Structure 1
Amino acid sequence: MNPDNLTKEYTNGEVTIVWQSGKCIHAAQCVKNNPDVFHPKEKPWIQAGNSTTDKIIETIHKCPSGALTYYMNKN
Structure 2
Amino acid sequence: METMKYSNGEVTILWKPKACIHAGVCVRTLPKVYDPKARPWIRLEHATTAELVAQVARCPSGALSVQQDVEKDE
Q: Which amino acid aligns with 1:58?
A: A
Q: Does 1:30 align with 2:6?
A: no
Q: Report the TM-score, using the length of structure 1 for normalisation.
A: 0.90
Structure with bigger gyration radius: 2
Report the alpha carbon displacement of residue 6 of structure 1 after superposing the two structures with TM: 2.8
Aligned-partner SS, 1:10:
strand
Cα distance in 2 for partners of 1:47, 1:65 equals 20
Matched positions, count: 71
Aligned-partner SS, 2:28:
helix
Q: Which amino acid aligns with 2:33?
A: V
Q: Report the TM-score, using the length of structure 2 for normalisation.
A: 0.91
Structure 2 unmatched runs, 5+: none
Select 1:62's aligned residue among 54, 58, 61.
Answer: 58
Structure 1 unmatched runs, 5+: none
Q: What does residue 70 of structure 2 align with?
A: 74
CA RMSD of aligned residues (A): 0.9
